[in-house]
Structures are given as structure tokens and as C-alpha cells.
Amino acid sequence: MAATADDRFFLGRKMQLAFLVGDMEAALKLWTETFQAGPFVVFEQALGSRHFIHRGQRSPVDFALALSYVGDTQIELIFQKNDAPSIYTEAERDPRGNGGAHHIAFWPDDMPAAFRKLTAQGFEEVASIRSPAGEIDVYYMQSPGELGVMLELVPMSSARRVYFSRIKELCERPDAGQRVYRFKDKDHFLSSIAQEAV
């Protein structure tokens, strides 16, 4: 039987567009008021207990994330709060200092196979986010010039599936509006979901 397009596209059918921003509040205002997108869920301490590895070295990166959906596409806004070495501080800013498109992300069903295939095609791991035990939570890969942005590979853990689904549900509610929900980190967001289920 011939392979379908879904079979051939090994990165999975879900994707994220991520933007590096110089002012989180201004970016949220643009997306919610101008684009009428939202709601957004903000994680003020996005790294939590995880470790950020930048070009082989652990780096004390402090950054906030805001997540939302437009249809099935996840939107991520990234704001780094300090000047620790990272793929964010390395990223080229536009002349106005407003940040810009930083990466596209996929969560493939077979993460190791996807990583190997991309590496064989010239993609290079430049950063990762790891659990306290050292397990890979996120890969960032430098892409060939034709892509124009970095590529992120994300393993779909059960916890990540829960909070991604919850954010998408918020965005699909008829009364969702353009609210901004704020949490210290993802653990606090997951705790709020668990409390709602009780």
C-alpha cells in the first residue's frame, strides 16, 4: 500500500509558531486586541525546575512564555528576562527591537527517529531543555538557511498533552474572549486543572 502524506511527514501533524518578543505585555496586547486572538496562558517562570542547556553548557536562563491557539496551530510568545546565554539572546532582532519569528515546533510520534533523520539532513542540536534527571524535554535545532528559523522538537509527555489540550479548550470556548491567564509555572497550571476536576 502506498504511503500517505501523513505517513511521509514524520514530524507529526501538530505544529507551533514561536515568536521572540522584547515586551511581553505589548505582544499580548497586539495578539489579543489587534488580532483578536486568545485567550493566552502565561507562565512567568517557564523553565521551572528544568535545566536549559545552551551549546553544551548549562545556562541560568529566565524566561516567560505565553501560549494560545489559532485553529490547530499553537502560538508561543517568548520573553527572556535576563541576559544569560541562550538561543533567544543569540537570535537576530529586527531593527526596531521587536523580536520576530524564532522557531517552528513539532511533536513527532517517534522523537528519536525524527531527531536522527533531521541530523542526517544537516540540522544541528544547539540547545535543549532537560528534566532534573537529565531527560530531554525539548530539542532546539539549527536549520539549514532555507527554513529561516530554528526547529524545535518536543516529546509529547502525558503532562504536556494535558496542558496543551486545556489551553486549546480555553481557546475554543464560545465565551473565551481575549483573556490572559497568568501562572507562576506549568506545575501551577496543571494543579489548577486538577482542582477543577475535583
Q: What is the CATH number of the domain that holds 17?
A: 3.10.180.10
Phi first, then psi, for residue 32 (nearest 5°) are -85, -40
Give the list of residues 6+ apart from residue 30 with CB closer than 8 angstroms, or none: none
Using DSSP bridges, classify how beta strands 180-183 and 150-153 pair: parallel, antiparallel or unpaired: unpaired
pTM metric for this prediction:
0.90
Whether residue 6 is contained in a domain is answered as no
**87 within 8 A of 140, measured Cβ to Cβ:** yes
* Predicted confidence pLDDT, tens digits, the chain (198 residues): 455 555 578 998 889 999 999 999 999 999 999 999 999 999 999 999 999 999 999 999 999 999 999 999 999 999 999 999 999 998 855 444 456 899 999 999 899 999 999 999 999 999 999 999 999 899 999 987 778 889 999 998 888 898 899 999 999 988 877 799 999 998 888 888 766 643
Whether residue 7 is contained in a domain is answered as no
Whether residue 198 is contained in a domain is answered as no
Whether residue 86 is contained in a domain is answered as yes
Number of domains in the chain: 1
